[in-house]
Amino acid sequence: MTINLLKSKSKQFYFIFVLLKKEFALDNKKKQNWSVALLYLFGSIFTIYLLVGQNKNNLSIPLWNSILWVILFFSAMQILANTFSKEPKNRDFYYSQITNAESIIFAKLIYNFIQVSILFVAGYFIFAFMLGNQVQNLPLFILSLVLGSASYVSTLTLVSAIAYKANSNNGIMAILGLPIVLPTTLEISQLSKNAIDGLDISVSYDEISIICSLIAISISLAFLLFPFLWKD
Amino acid sequence: MLKNAWKPLSLILILYTIWAGMIWETPRLPILNETIRNLYFHVPMWFGMIIILLVACIYSIMYLNTKNIKYDIYSNQMTNVGILFGILGLVTGMIWAKYTWGEMWSGDAKQKGSAWGLFIYFVYLILRYSVSDPTDRAKFSSVYNILAYLALVPLLFIFPRMQDSLHPGNGGNPGFNSYDLDSRMRMIFYPAVIGWTLLGVWLATLRARLDLVREK
């Protein structure tokens, strides 16, 4: 009995590993997913650079912060909307035969987290390069970017599953996801505002703990609700 | 007979609270003056909305567990009534704010949170319209309804308490408990909450039964 349990557990970990490898292979093969997200990020930042200009004083700190987060949110949306629709057609049934829904959502969450945090850090550096860097506490700001990507991914992966199953157009994804992530966006922008002002990390413990608990809630919800969506 | 007694009871309670809420004496307080009577009409809307949306969320969980389409219909109609109560609560709050804060919409943390909470539920309606297959619609909207309720609670009860807000009970302001020293207001407030909630449940069950008949 225990041996069987151990065997199945290790099998599950093995499947998660295989699924993660598959995600990397898929994006390596079809590069349009990544390039579209990066180009979207670059294009929107470049538009703002043309509209505002590089002078640091043109943007006040709250405006700088909020424009950055709006751009990052929509580029995350761009990449997360394809979480399930990038798979080759009619693979769902095959995946549900060889593995369970929990492994699939776990692999998707990890892969999306890696993807979006790289995208966010890259987005910050492009933004700071074009519009002037106003951040004084850089480690805390990077932490806020990573926490932001974790909270967006944990909520929007489930939402993209709903959008993918509902109908495969991406328009509904933005409208479903935007209101749900608002509570986290408010907290995240407060945290990154603290980092821009150069405050010590001890000031922001409240925000960090709230964001972490919101992430925990949304990850557990994703694990609870995704199996209902996945199996027909 | 007695099984349905709660339906007329809701009407009796609401009529009683409208009469008593307009006529009975209230504490005399600066700024608030007579607008304190809004407690009997504005706050029961939010109490009723939170209770009815919680019931809708529980029906969604029951749908996901049993796959019985009946629960989805009940969940949908409960959500519709919850949205109606939310709109009424927002409007009564804006009228009250006109006479106490000076403006209908002053961008208060509580106002922003409740407006966004309603927006989440409008999206729920859009999701329901966009899917035509009844089983799929039931599945997606149940999942989204659970997400929506869990996003609504922090928007209404956690964030306004952490920011500056003029709303009673938030931002360090005293709640209504400190105003009614002689607990006369409670004699009207609690019946109002029960009455409006029962009326909402009645409305939702009527519409859900109509939907069930249409389904057949």
Q: Is the pLDDT of residue A5 over 50?
A: no
Give the one of B123, B130, B131 whose C-beta lies nearest to A179's C-beta: B123
Q: Is the pLDDT of residue B118 over 80?
A: yes
Q: Look up residue B134 and give its amino acid.
A: P
Determine which of A172, A175, A176, A215 to mutate to test the interface with B (most B C-beta atoms within 10 Å): A176
Shortest distance between the Cα of B147 and any Cα of chain A, in A, equals 8
Query: Among A12-21, B29-38, B107-116, whose mean pLDDT is lowest?
Result: B29-38
pLDDT at B25: 77
Shortest distance between the Cα of B120 and any Cα of chain A, in A, equals 5
Query: Among B27-31, B116-120, B149-153, B185-189, whose mean pLDDT is lowest?
Result: B27-31
pLDDT at B55: 95
pLDDT digits (tens, 9 = 90+) for B155-165: 888 777 777 77
DSSP string covering A64-87, please?
HHHHHHHHHHHHHHHHHTTTTTTS
pLDDT digits (tens, 9 = 90+) for A159-186: 888 888 877 566 788 888 888 888 888 8
pLDDT digits (tens, 9 = 90+) for A95-143: 877 778 888 899 999 999 999 999 999 999 999 888 888 888 899 999 9
**Are B147 and A175 within 8 A, CB to CB?**
no
Q: Is the pLDDT of residue A60 over 90?
A: no
pLDDT at B179: 58
pLDDT at A145: 93
Which residues of A are less than 8 Å from B123 in CB distance?
175-176, 179
pLDDT digits (tens, 9 = 90+) for B66-111: 999 999 999 999 999 999 999 999 999 999 888 888 888 887 888 8
Interface contacts (A, B; CB < 8 Å) = 59
Which band of pLDDT confidence, cut at 50, 70 and 90, is reported for residue A85?
Answer: confident
Which band of pLDDT confidence, cut at 50, 70 and 90, is reported for residue B145?
Answer: very high
Q: Is the pLDDT of residue A150 over 90?
A: yes
Picking from B198, B209, B200, the residue whose alpha carbon sits closest to that of residue B7 is: B198
pLDDT at A1: 41
Looking at every residue in chain B, the average pLDDT score rounds to 86
| Cβ atoms of B38 and B96 closer than 8 Å | yes
Give the one of A166, A179, A186 whose C-beta lies nearest to B119's C-beta: A179
Shortest distance between the Cα of B123 and any Cα of chain A, in A, equals 6
Share of chain A above pLDDT 70, in %: 92
Determine which of A154, A160, A180 to mutate to test the interface with B (most B C-beta atoms within 10 Å): A180
Q: Is the pLDDT of residue A147 over 90?
A: yes
Question: Closest residue of B to A161, CA-based?
Answer: B140
pLDDT at A68: 92
Give the one of A183, A225, A228 whose C-beta lies nearest to B151's C-beta: A183
Q: Is the pLDDT of residue A6 over 50?
A: no
Determine which of A92, A188, A213, A229 to mutate to test the interface with B (most B C-beta atoms within 10 Å): A229
**Are B151 and A166 within 8 A, CB to CB?**
no
**Are A229 and B139 within 8 A, CB to CB?**
yes
- How far from chain centre, in Å, is Cα B158? 17
Which residues of A are less than 8 Å from B130 in CB distance?
166-167, 172
Q: Look up residue A136 and give its amino acid.
A: Q
**Are B127 and A162 within 8 A, CB to CB?**
yes
Q: Is B169 left (phi over 0), alpha (psi -120 to 50) or beta?
A: left
Which residues of A are less than 8 Å from B147 in CB distance?
155, 158-159, 180, 221, 225
Greater pLDDT, B24 or B124? B124
* HSE-up (13 A, CA, CB side) for residue A115: 29
Which residues of B are less than 8 Å from A176 in CB distance?
123, 127, 144
pLDDT at B172: 61
